């Protein structure tokens, strides 16, 4: 092929295809991005022209007790959700490793909750958790207790965490399982020769070697918890006493109920920043370089 | 037959069998909410909380209520179902078509700025979409599309994630296939639809399934963009119906079944591709 100064047909097709996506992105991604930045430093109420107010939105948002409560609620959620998710995912991963044949069946059972409707399942769990619902009847028959799942401030968050864990444990389990497949069997044989018990093997071999997959699950869990909206919105509506209000609910309420979009824009920027901050901190604290040497 | 069964039984220790049974039991427990939902949708509301899962008088009254009576309460479920199907179908078709071609360009065509384009897609995926909901509302309002189905379709017509996932898979196509297509003077359309797509069914099934599920079950965006009950997709109409008529447990559960059914069917249909594709995305 001779080198020509102008572009080949292949390059033109490539540019046209990439360009079509860039055009789409300019309208539905870059333009909103610009608006978000503009809104965060102006005062605007959907109908008037935006007035520049500088850092006023930032100061207002940082002093908004509801917003701070919502951020605090994310941490409370993580405290319940992360242990549930990790234990559940490890059980699924070891379960998949243990069963020989029906592996696909087990995986599909746990994954169905992940691909089915979040809206429908939130409504179903509202009924399952209700005072006279099947869960409380089961508990009453077995232990003689009834638990006010959605009316107690502490338990309401646990109920949400259980629903979200139910939804994601299968997916996280599959991630961990894919990691388990990469651990060489010889390591366990060697450990057995050294009389290492099952717990030692778990904490000295399996978990350290699963670090990349465990980190992936942790990052996903952080992203899920800051993006929480459907489940608390439908199951508890943020209550009781604002104990399950999430940042996404705050942004929605502030923009479309209280009609303060510029305030809400600042919130979504702060929430994204908080998400990154937490992910960076988590990686600094828990990420290990694993090498098989 | 009996000998085979004995061999199977001996293949594990008794403890191992207990564990296997426990895992199966746990997997089936995970499906309990689905079973409860289906059972509740088929019982009169008064019997839902009374008695076991399979006891009670099973009828289709809840579904009849949803399609006939709810319409008179200003909750047109049949229409909502059609709207959900239309929007989800349009978005999925558009995402698959655009992603396949653009991913082919990204993975296989040489053009200036190609690596930059790939890096840009990665950058976009790192920024959470929930951040854009509010300014997207401003944009859609400026375009005069609030309360129209275009508000649900247009912003999701292309997907950077879809392009990226497909491109990762397209990179592994052996060069000989594409050489053969070039020798036969296949057009771009023919190359992508006849060579690239059939060789990458799993990843396309994954993108299709996640796009379909994400659009069908999208809640926050249509809740904001559509306020007219005549134009609401099923997920939002069902949520507003449940907020107002929460004591109608039977009909609400019937609606939940409708909302879940297409997703479960699709999942069951594509389960093999899905598991294969999942292992692709986890690499």
- CATH code at position B103: 1.10.3720.10
Say what the pLDDT of residue A1 is.
47
B252 touches A at CB < 8 Å: yes
B260 touches A at CB < 8 Å: yes
Residues A91, A133, single domain; the answer is yes
Residues A46, A86, single domain; the answer is no
How many domains in chain B? 2
In a domain, B67, yes or no: no
Task: Assess contact for B151 and B218: CB atoms under 8 A.
Answer: no
Q: Percent of chain A scored above 90 by pLDDT?
A: 45
Which candidate from B160, B256, B267 shows the least CB-CB separation from A112?
B267
Residues A77, A53, single domain; the answer is no
In a domain, A293, yes or no: no
Task: Assess contact for B222 and B236: CB atoms under 8 A.
Answer: yes
Distance CA A40, CA A52 (A): 9
Distance CA B221, CA B244 (A): 20
Residues B49, B83, single domain; the answer is no
Confidence of residue A201 (pLDDT cuts 50, 70, 90): confident
How many domains in chain A? 2
Residues B192, B92, single domain; the answer is yes
| A293 Cα distance to chain centroid | 34
Q: Report the gap between the CA of B131 and the closest CA in chain A (Å).
A: 5
Task: Assess contact for A169 and A88: CB atoms under 8 A.
Answer: yes
Residues A49, A68, single domain; the answer is no
* B residues 143..202 contacting A (CB < 8 A): 154-155, 157-158, 160, 163, 188
In a domain, A251, yes or no: yes
In a domain, B2, yes or no: no
Q: How many CB atoms lie within 10 A of CB A154?
A: 10
- Per the structure, the complete domain to which residue A87 belongs is given by 63-286
Is residue A191 over pLDDT 90?
Answer: no
Q: Name the closest residue on chain B to residue A15, using Cα atoms.
A: B111
Residues B143, B248, single domain; the answer is yes
Average pLDDT over residues A34-57: 83
Q: Report the gap between the CA of A79 and the closest CA in chain B (Å).
A: 22
Which candidate from A105, A124, A269 shows the least CB-CB separation from B33?
A124
In a domain, B65, yes or no: no
Cβ contacts below 8 Å, chain A against chain B, sum to 228
Confidence of residue A249 (pLDDT cuts 50, 70, 90): very high
Q: In chain A, which residues have their Cβ closer than 8 Å to the Cβ of B155?
A: 28
Residues B123, B193, single domain; the answer is yes
Q: Phi-psi region for residue B59, left (φ > 0), alpha (ψ -120 to 50) or beta?
A: beta
Residues B48, B84, single domain; the answer is no
In a domain, B8, yes or no: no
Contact A255 B137 (CB under 8 A): yes
In a domain, A2, yes or no: no
Contact B256 A124 (CB under 8 A): yes
Is residue A43 over pLDDT 80?
Answer: yes
* A residues 254..283 contacting B (CB < 8 A): 255-256, 261, 264-265, 268-269, 271-272, 275
> Which DSSP letter does residue A6 get?
S
Q: Name the closest residue on chain B to residue A254, using Cα atoms.
A: B134
Q: Report the gap between the CA of B187 and the closest CA in chain A (Å).
A: 11
Q: Which helix (H) or strand (E) holds B258?
A: helix B249-269
A208 touches B at CB < 8 Å: no
Say what the pTM is: 0.89
Contact B33 A166 (CB under 8 A): yes
Q: H-type helices in B143-187, by residue range?
A: 150-153, 160-170, 175-183
Residues B163, B194, single domain; the answer is yes
A175 touches B at CB < 8 Å: yes
Return the minimum-mean-pLDDT range out of A24-33, A57-66, B102-111.
Answer: A57-66
Q: Which of A127, A135, A212, A274 to mutate to test the interface with B (most CBs of B within 10 A)?
A: A127
Report the complex ipTM.
0.86
In a domain, A291, yes or no: no
Say what the pLDDT of residue B198 is.
92
Distance CA B273, CA B275 (A): 6
pLDDT in tens, A254-293: 988 888 888 899 999 999 999 999 999 999 999 887 766 5
Distance CA A71, CA A50 (A): 28
Which candidate from B98, B127, B260 shows the least CB-CB separation from A117?
B260
Is residue A179 over pLDDT 50?
Answer: yes
Contact A39 B19 (CB under 8 A): no
Contact B27 A20 (CB under 8 A): no
Residues B54, B83, single domain; the answer is no
Hey, what are A62's tokens? 């940082």
Residues A29, A147, single domain; the answer is no
Residues A52, A72, single domain; the answer is no
In a domain, A292, yes or no: no
* A residues 92..131 contacting B (CB < 8 A): 95, 98-100, 102, 104-113, 115-121, 123-128
Task: Assess contact for B259 and A152: CB atoms under 8 A.
Answer: no
In a domain, B64, yes or no: no
Residues A131, A204, single domain; the answer is yes
Q: Percent of chain A scored above 70 by pLDDT?
A: 97
Calculate Rg over the CA atoms of chain A. 24
Which of A113-117, A187-191, B257-261 ranks highest by mean pLDDT? B257-261
Hey, what are A25's tokens? 């992105």
Q: Name the closest residue on chain A to residue B21, using Cα atoms.
A: A99
Say what the pLDDT of residue B282 is.
60
In a domain, B1, yes or no: no
A214 touches B at CB < 8 Å: no
Residues B185, B246, single domain; the answer is yes
Residues B37, B110, single domain; the answer is no
Say what the pLDDT of residue B280 is.
61
Residues A52, A77, single domain; the answer is no
Residues A142, A20, single domain; the answer is no
Q: Report the gap between the CA of B102 and the closest CA in chain A (Å).
A: 5
Task: Assess contact for B29 and A106: CB atoms under 8 A.
Answer: no
Say what the pLDDT of residue B12 is.
76
Residues A26, A131, single domain; the answer is no
Residues B166, B241, single domain; the answer is yes
- Per the structure, the complete domain to which residue B239 belongs is given by 78-281
Residues B127, B243, single domain; the answer is yes
Nearest partner of B272 among B207, B201, B167, judged by Cα: B201
Residues A144, A47, single domain; the answer is no
Residues A195, A271, single domain; the answer is yes
Distance CA A104, CA A96 (A): 9
pLDDT in tens, A133-158: 888 888 888 887 878 888 888 889 99
For tokens 């608390």, the residue is: A232
* Tens digit of each residue's pLDDT, chain B (283 residues): 677 778 777 777 888 888 889 999 999 999 999 999 999 899 888 888 877 777 778 888 889 888 888 777 888 999 999 999 999 999 999 999 999 999 999 999 999 999 999 999 998 888 877 788 888 998 998 899 999 999 999 999 999 999 999 999 999 999 999 999 989 998 999 999 999 999 998 889 889 999 999 999 999 999 999 989 899 999 999 999 988 887 888 899 999 999 999 999 998 888 888 877 776 666 5
Residues B153, B114, single domain; the answer is yes
Q: For residue A199, give the CATH number of its domain.
A: 1.10.3720.10
Q: Report the gap between the CA of B39 and the closest CA in chain A (Å).
A: 11
Q: Report the gap between the CA of A150 and the closest CA in chain B (Å).
A: 15
Contact A11 B160 (CB under 8 A): no
Q: Name the closest residue on chain A to residue B213, using Cα atoms.
A: A115
């Amino acid at each position: 092929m001779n080198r020509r100064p102008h572009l080949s047909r292949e390059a033109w097709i490539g540019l046209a295809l990439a360009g079509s996506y860039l055009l789409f992105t300019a309208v539905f991604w870059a333009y909103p991005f610009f608006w978000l930045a503009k809104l965060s430093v102006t005062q605007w109420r959907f109908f008037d022209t935006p007035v520049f107010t500088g850092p006023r939105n930032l100061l207002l948002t940082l002093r908004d007790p509801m917003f701070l409560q919502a951020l605090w609620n994310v941490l409370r959620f993580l405290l319940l959700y992360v242990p549930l998710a990790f234990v559940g995912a490890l059980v699924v991963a070891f379960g998949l490793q243990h069963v020989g044949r029906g592996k696909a069946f087990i995986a599909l059972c746990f994954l169905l909750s992940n691909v089915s409707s979040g809206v429908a399942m939130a409504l179903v769990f509202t009924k399952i958790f209700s005072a006279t619902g099947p869960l409380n009847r089961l508990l009453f028959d077995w232990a003689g207790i009834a638990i006010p799942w959605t009316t107690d401030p502490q338990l309401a968050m646990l109920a949400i965490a259980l629903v979200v864990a139910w939804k994601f444990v299968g997916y996280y389990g599959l991630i961990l399982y894919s990691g388990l497949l990469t651990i060489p069997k010889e390591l366990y044989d060697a450990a057995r020769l050294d009389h290492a018990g099952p717990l030692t093997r778990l904490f000295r071999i399996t978990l350290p070697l699963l670090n990349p997959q465990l980190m992936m699950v942790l990052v996903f869990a952080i992203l899920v918890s800051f993006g929480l909206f459907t489940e608390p919105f439908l199951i508890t509506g943020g209550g009781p006493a604002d104990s399950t209000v999430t940042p996404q609910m705050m942004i929605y309420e502030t923009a479309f109920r209280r009609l303060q979009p510029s305030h809400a824009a600042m919130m979504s920027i702060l929430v994204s920043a908080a998400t990154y901050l937490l992910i960076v901190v988590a990686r600094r604290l828990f990420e290990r370089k694993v090498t098989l040497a | 037959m009996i000998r085979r069964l004995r061999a199977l039984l001996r293949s594990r220790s008794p403890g191992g069998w207990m564990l296997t049974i426990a895992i199966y039991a746990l997997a089936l427990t995970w499906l309990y909410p689905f079973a409860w939902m289906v059972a509740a949708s088929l019982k009169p509301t008064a019997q839902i909380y009374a008695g076991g899962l399979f006891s009670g008088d099973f009828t289709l009254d809840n579904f009849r209520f949803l399609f006939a009576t709810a319409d008179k309460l200003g909750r047109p479920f049949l229409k909502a179902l059609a709207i959900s199907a239309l929007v989800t179908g349009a978005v999925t078709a558009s995402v698959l078509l655009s992603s396949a071609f653009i991913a082919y360009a990204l993975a296989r065509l040489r053009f200036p700025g190609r690596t930059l384009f790939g890096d840009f897609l990665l950058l976009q995926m790192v920024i959470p979409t929930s951040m854009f909901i509010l300014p997207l509302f401003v944009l859609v309002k400026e375009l005069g599309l609030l309360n129209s189905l275009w508000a649900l379709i247009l912003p999701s017509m292309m997907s950077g994630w879809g392009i990226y996932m497909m491109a990762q898979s397209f990179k592994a196509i052996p060069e000989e296939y594409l050489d053969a297509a070039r020798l036969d003077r296949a057009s771009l359309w023919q190359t992508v639809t006849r060579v690239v797509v059939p060789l990458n069914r799993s990843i396309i099934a994954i993108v299709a399934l996640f796009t379909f599920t994400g659009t069908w079950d999208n809640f926050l965006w249509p809740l904001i963009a559509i306020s007219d009950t005549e134009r609401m997709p099923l997920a939002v109409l069902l949520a507003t119906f449940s907020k107002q008529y929460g004591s109608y447990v039977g009909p609400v559960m019937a609606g939940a079944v409708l909302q879940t059914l297409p997703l479960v069917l699709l999942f069951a249909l594509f389960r093999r591709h899905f598991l294969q594709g999942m292992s692709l995305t986890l690499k």
